[in-house]
Amino acid sequence: MTGSRVVAVGHHQPERVLTNAELATMVDTSDEWIRSRVGIESRRIAADDETVDAMAANAAAKALANAGLAATDIDYLVVATCTAIDRSPNMAARVAARLGMTTPAAIDVNTACSGFTHALATADHAIRAGAASKALVIGSEKLTDFTDWTDRSTCVLVGDGAGAVVLVAADEPEVGPVTWGSVPEMANAVRIEGRPGTFGQEGQAVFRWATTELPRIARQVCERSGVAPEDLGGVVLHQANLRIIEPLAKRLGAVNAVVARDVVESGNTSAASIPIALSKLVERRELPVGAPVLLFGFGGGLSYAGMVIRCP
């Protein structure tokens, strides 16, 4: 095999919806203040028993069903998360047990909000190297476990959920080469520090970096994949802020692409945001099968990773 392709997607979100109006009764904020700054209208909040691995397993089960595969068919499982409470066993091992897998390689990736695209790249590389043939890549986060609900600058942002894709070996690669990197001097710009840990960020610094540097890096992703921005069928960026997503897609020149705006209804779900948004677009058939789609994650570290895939 010379590459891999995404054959199916799936996602899980908690039933509990927290609106801006409800948040305004909890902290000094308002619907207009939140929408004007980040574009979020609502977010999903996980129940106590909706753990990171439980949500991951639910999303994965849907992706496997959509792929027509059994959990035992998977030989490489990777979970991207920065909100696992336990050190060991890792989330991938717990997901494998929940799904009844047999002997998969099972690893976690923690690069915060860019975790899913980093994880997808490692799975693609494993398949290209012949170390795997069928992979399950999941982003799952329960950011509300690490949220200070008295801090209006951060609590308005976060949501919970999970998304998954199934990746298989292919003669013709449909997952383009990854472009990834980091900005070490900004490593502390997004963080969950201490015990039990609270999510915090330097919002303005991240916003400036994202709006000035990301368009250039996103163009590099397209160039490495041999796809012109105007030929993209979809753009699925990390769902951090609508004021980052829309200008970036415009500056990139993705004039014909469907741009994911799931942040409006889901908030920032960190490593889960890209697979959730992609799964919804596929489920609603808003992306043509085979269309080139840019996936690009950025966040804590300050890390980033992106690639162009073909829509399943």
Q: Transcribe the chain into DSSP letters.
A: --EEEEEEEEEE--SEEEEHHHHTTTSS--HHHHHHHH---EEEE--TT--HHHHHHHHHHHHHHHHT--GGG--EEEEE-S----SSS-HHHHHHHHHT-SS-EEEEE--GGGHHHHHHHHHHHHHHTTS-SEEEEEEEEEGGGG--TT-TTTTTTB-EEEEEEEEEEESS--BPPPEEEE-GGGGGGEEEETTTTEEEE-HHHHHHHHHHHHHHHHHHHHHHHT--GGG-SEEEE--S-HHHHHHHHHHHT-TTPEEP-THHHH-B-GGGHHHHHHHHHHHTT-S-TT-EEEEEEEEGGGEEEEEEEE--
Report pLDDT for 195.
77
Lowest mean pLDDT among 44-48, 108-112, 181-185: 181-185
Higher pLDDT among residues 99 and 196, named by residue: 99
> Do 190 and 223 touch, CB atoms closer than 8 A?
no
Q: What is the pTM of this model?
A: 0.97
Nearest to 206 by CA among 186, 221, 223: 186
Tokens of 201: 């960020």
Report pLDDT for 2.
85
Report pLDDT for 228.
97
pLDDT digits (tens, 9 = 90+) for 183-193: 998 888 888 88
Q: Does pLDDT of 1 surpass 80?
A: no
74 vs 91: CA distance, rounded Å: 16
The residues, any chain, with a CB within 8 Å of residue 120's CB and separated by 6 or more, are 137, 165, 167, 175, 178, 295, 307, 309
Residues 276-286, mean pLDDT to the nearest whole number: 98
Report pLDDT for 190.
87
Report pLDDT for 168.
98
pLDDT digits (tens, 9 = 90+) for 117-167: 999 999 999 999 999 999 999 999 999 999 999 999 999 999 999 999 999
Q: Does pLDDT of 201 surpass 90?
A: no
24 vs 184: CA distance, rounded Å: 36
pLDDT digits (tens, 9 = 90+) for 53-73: 999 999 999 999 999 999 999
138 vs 311: CA distance, rounded Å: 17
Nearest to 57 by CA among 87, 88, 100: 100
Q: What percentage of the chain has pLDDT greater than the value 90?
A: 89
Distance from chain centroid for Cα 136: 14
Q: What percentage of the chain has pLDDT greater than the value 70?
A: 100
Catalytic residue numbers, as ranges: 113, 238, 268
Residues 237-255, mean pLDDT to the nearest whole number: 95
Give, rounded to a whole angstrom, the gap between the first and last alpha carbons of the chain.
19
Report pLDDT for 191.
86
Average confidence score pLDDT of the chain: 96
Rg of the chain over all Cα atoms, to the nearest angstrom: 18
